[in-house]
Amino acid sequence: QLQLVESGGGLVQSGGSLRLSCARAQFTLEHYAIGWFRQAPGKEREGVSCISDRGSTIKYADSVKGRFTISRDNAKSAVYLQMNSLKPEDTAVYYCAADRLSAILRNAIGSWGQGTQVTVSS
């Protein structure tokens, strides 16, 4: 299982924005679908958004539609999650994963990286 490195988290006020990045040094992600997931304290990890290897398929959880935007730059081998209009309920550790799109949609991910903490204050 390919482990990725997430970055860009932090503390932000409600209504603010953050941009998360997902990459792995010296490795190309262009042949992988990428999913963003999050896990809040006491809750199960949930899918937030995903993008296919060529970017032709993009999906969002209902809770983030219209506020979050996933994108990828295969030339830089990076995937991003732009998060706008953040709410306190978005507070969680955010993870990214690379796999087949079908595995990401089933949340069938074998291992995870460290994640990046996002905290939204009210």
Rounded to whole angstroms, the Cα distance separating 104 from 113 reads: 15
**Mind listing the pLDDT tens digit for each residue in 27-64?**
888 899 999 999 999 999 999 999 999 999 999 999 99
Does the structure show a pLDDT above 70 at 113?
yes
Average pLDDT, the chain: 94
Rounded to whole angstroms, the Cα distance separating 46 from 69 reads: 17
Nearest 5°: phi and psi at 90?
-85, -5
Percent of the chain whose predicted confidence (pLDDT) is above 90? 82
**Mind listing the pLDDT tens digit for each residue in 70-79?**
999 988 889 9
Rounded to whole angstroms, the Cα distance separating 81 from 76 reads: 15
Helix (H, G, I), strand (E, B) or coil at 103: helix
**Mind listing the pLDDT tens digit for each residue in 4-15?**
899 999 999 999
Angle at 117 between CA 112 and CA 122, to 5 degrees: 145
